[in-house]
Structure 1
Amino acid sequence: MTRRAVRAGEPDVPPVERTGHVWRVRSASAARQVLRERRATTQAGFTAEWIPKGFLKHHPILISDGPLHDEQRSAVGRFFAPKVVAERYLALMEQCADRLLAASGSEVVLDELALLYTVEVTAQAVGLTESSVPAMARRLESFFNQPPFDITRADLGRTPRQWALAAWRGLLPVLRLYLADVRPAIRVRRRTPGQDVISHLIGQGYTDADILVECVTYGTAGMVTTREFIAMAAWHLVGDEALRARYLVAGQPERHAILNEIIRLEPVVGHLYRRVRQPFTFTESSTGSTERTTHTPAPGDLIDLCILPANADPATVGDHPLEVCPGRPLPAGVNDAVLSFGDGAHRCPGQPLAILEADVLLRRLLAHGVRVVSEPTIGWDELIAGYTLRGFRLQVGTAT
């Protein structure tokens, strides 16, 4: 199987590379060691280091570190546990998928349909249920229309004009999201708490500003990235007749294994970044070798964890790393998707929700029979350090 989202100019080797104060780690085992350094490193991705620390009472869970983050992560994680996801949201997913597919007719633009679907489902888990889903989806999309940046540079490599443009394109959509989506949801849940993230945050004393930032976080991590994965998984399944046939007759555990393998192969977030705060060491080893090389990054160094090559590291994933092999043997403690949902304290808790969401929609879509009308265009989003797929048109109802 050929990877589709491979960015030109991004090498797969060496396993660990240092250029000045920037380390690039492409070894899965080394990357896991870095991600599990809970006290020696802090979050540097998603422009975390440029979010003002004093403005918010609670620092956002995605970009915080330390005991407070661990406490937040444990409390919120219960909303995304596999059993909770299945019990609370499976019926919603099925109804939403059926309704959107029925309304789409004989041809769908999958990336657009997937956005509406993921926004509606994740909004239920978060508690953003007091506004129009299509309008909220547009507001979330507009947030990503940002000028480019280089996270390895102290000023992100932006000119003053680009900084002004980033502020305008970032703050205005966030303000709209607050007024139209977040504030109405907060008001309802202050009166009548529910089983959702916003209700939990209110109970923890979060301010409206704190809750807004968390909603933006879940909007990007829980909605937008899942949308990309659904389109990518469909692209692989439509293009591989044998894999599609296997997926359609498989039980849920095997279907989920297939989807985890696809996202291992095509991680939506291609880079994770950590800033070194105190010295520590990590090691790397080559496939088939017992020799290990030790590295010691210094405080202030930036570590770029390159997820695409790490997820195809033969030393971790074994033979045929570029093939979809559901149930492939992995070392103890390694997730089925390897590093596609991160690892350690910042591992994404939404994996069960994302995989189940994708499975529900794709199983229904592919059961109708589909034919590709136009393949998607691959783009790149610097904020999530990952791919985007646009214009993926499918004719639905080709099954005989």
Structure 2
Amino acid sequence: MNDTAPSQCPMHDNIDRRKSAKLAEANVQPDEGARWVKTAEIARKVLRSKKSLQAGAGAEYMTADNPEHISVFFLDGEDHANKKRKTQRFLSPKAVSDQHFKVMTDFTNVLLEEFQKKGSDNLEDISFKLAVEVVGEILGLTDSDRAGRAHRIRRVMEETIVKPKQGIAGLIQKCTQISLIGTFYWRDVRPAINARKKSPKNDALSYYIEEKYPVKSIIIECLTYGAAGMMTTREFIVMAAWYLFEDEALRDRFMQGDTKDQLAILMEILRLEPVAGMIHRRLHEELPDFEGETLPSGELYGIDLRKSNVDEALVGECPFALDPDRAKRVKDLGRYMSFGDGSHSCPGWQVALHETRIFLELLFKVPGIKLAREPDISWHQEVVGYELRNAVVTCDKKD
């Protein structure tokens, strides 16, 4: 726990209790040559500019003959806007309430029933299975065995979102990645494609087939959604649960609150503990007032989401205090910079929040629920975010 000296604050002690703060301080930094943006005002200027291009995570090296067949994550400008309009319907508030709520609730109940029969389980495993099922429903990856699909996706994510190795080690790494992606395609993607060709549904895969996406593009979409919607949601579910387990008053408010209040609590936890620490943009216009100077077009910026989220100019006084009423007081939606901003802000943010909300509400209703072991926290350098592992939850065992 990182307890820094409190400032004078009329409402809270303002002690920095962020669980990932020390790790982030040691690891979050921009790519080489990038300007480090630490304030919310400049961050929003960069992210909301119409001439701000996606950078980092290989975006600047991604090319495609047909923009329609490349992930929306790697597109910019009109290509990005057009693609986003076509695919946003799978992540819209209407889709979340009409279609995804049921999957979130039903599968959470399945997972918690299994948990109660065992009496003990690893929280990261439960949350990852849920994330795989929810994102799988959005994508259309629903025609293979659930347990195997979760295992295969986990292995692909673990082996592909890593720093490339050199020499023989790099060759072995590449072969492993190709093998895992191939297995994922044959066991999970291909059966889903065949099923959707026979009977299309309201999911992304049916859309990709309708638009005649090549197989490679479909796999890229599945892996991109996997990284964005499965890995990050898994970490946040564990982090939010950790906060609620150790703060009885906050947990009581969450359990007694309506949907709006529950979301306010979760967004405030996420403000303090954003899963992604930094994103990059290349801005093709001049940016005035950057620490007293005007920067030329073409500059690369590293947007520090964590520092922006505790910038008093954005979030108000006592930035380190966990205050679910903060957003209402500062007249903000409560997202702050946790999901990015501008055209490339996270399109699935509502899915992630409601998935977490539904899971935690049902989890804390389980008789005898306890956090028997707090998670180990480490840092994923390629994702630029924290990882939480080995959190053990126990409950009254069900016969």
2:154 is the counterpart of 1:141: yes
| Alpha carbons 1:33, 1:282 under 8 Å: kept | no
SS in 2 for 1:145: helix
SS in 1 for 2:21: coil
CA-atom RMSD in angstroms: 2.7
| 1:173-252 equivalence runs, <5 A | 173-252=180-259
Which has the larger share of helix? 2
Instruction: Please give the per-residue CA displacement for 1:35-62, whole angstroms capped at 9, x wherever unaligned.
Output: 12232x3222322234454598622111
Tell me which residue corresponds to 2:276: 269
| 1:333-372 equivalence runs, <5 A | 335-368=333-366, 369-372=368-371
Tell me which residue corresponds to 1:287: none
SS in 2 for 1:326: coil
| Alpha carbons 1:78, 1:84 under 8 Å: kept | yes
Tell me which residue corresponds to 1:386: 385
Tell me which residue corresponds to 1:107: 120
Q: Matches of 1:239 and 1:194 in 2, distance apart?
A: 42
Amino acid of the residue matched to residue 110 of structure 2? R
2:78 is the counterpart of 1:60: no
Shift, 1:397, TM fit: 4.0
Equivalent of 1:43 in 40, 54, 60: 54
Q: Matches of 1:55 and 1:159 in 2, distance apart?
A: 32
Tell me which residue corresponds to 2:376: 377
SS in 2 for 1:108: strand
Unaligned runs of 5+ in 1: 150-155, 285-291
Amino acid of the residue matched to residue 58 of structure 2? T
Change (3 A) 1:170 1:331: farther
**Segment of structure 1 superposing worse, 195-204 or 50-59:** 50-59
Shift, 1:340, TM fit: 1.4
| Alpha carbons 1:365, 1:396 under 8 Å: kept | no
Shift, 1:335, TM fit: 4.4
Q: Matches of 2:160 and 2:219 in 1, distance apart?
A: 19
Q: Matches of 2:217 and 2:185 in 1, distance apart?
A: 11
Amino acid of the residue matched to residue 328 of structure 1? R
Tell me which residue corresponds to 2:108: 97
Equivalent of 1:33 in 45, 66, 83: 45
Change (3 A) 1:184 1:366: same
Amino acid of the residue matched to residue 194 of structure 1? K
Change (3 A) 1:191 1:294: farther
SS in 1 for 2:141: coil
| Alpha carbons 1:186, 1:198 under 8 Å: kept | yes
Change (3 A) 1:75 1:282: farther
Shift, 1:243, TM fit: 0.5
| Alpha carbons 1:56, 1:210 under 8 Å: kept | no
Identity of aligned residues (%): 32
Give the structure-2-normalised TM-score: 0.86
Change (3 A) 1:168 1:275: farther
| Alpha carbons 1:147, 1:166 under 8 Å: kept | no
Equivalent of 1:21 in 26, 30, 33: 33
| Alpha carbons 2:277, 2:304 under 8 Å: kept | yes
Give the structure-1-normalised TM-score: 0.86
Q: Matches of 1:259 and 1:29 in 2, distance apart?
A: 23
SS in 2 for 1:256: helix
| 1:155-170 equivalence runs, <5 A | 159-160=166-167, 163-170=170-177
Number of aligned positions between the proteins: 378
Q: Matches of 1:225 and 1:116 in 2, distance apart?
A: 13
SS in 2 for 1:170: helix
Change (3 A) 1:283 1:171: farther
| Alpha carbons 1:57, 1:207 under 8 Å: kept | no
**Segment of structure 1 superposing worse, 255-264 or 382-391:** 382-391
SS in 1 for 2:371: strand
Q: Matches of 2:245 and 2:297 in 1, distance apart?
A: 46
| Alpha carbons 1:316, 1:331 under 8 Å: kept | no
Amino acid of the residue matched to residue 344 of structure 2? H
Shift, 1:140, TM fit: 1.9
Tell me which residue corresponds to 2:266: 259
Q: Matches of 1:353 and 1:257 in 2, distance apart?
A: 15
SS in 1 for 2:241: helix
Amino acid of the residue matched to residue 143 of structure 2? E
Instruction: Please give the per-residue CA displacement for 1:77-104, whole angstroms capped at 9, x wherever unaligned.
Output: 1111122201112122111111111111
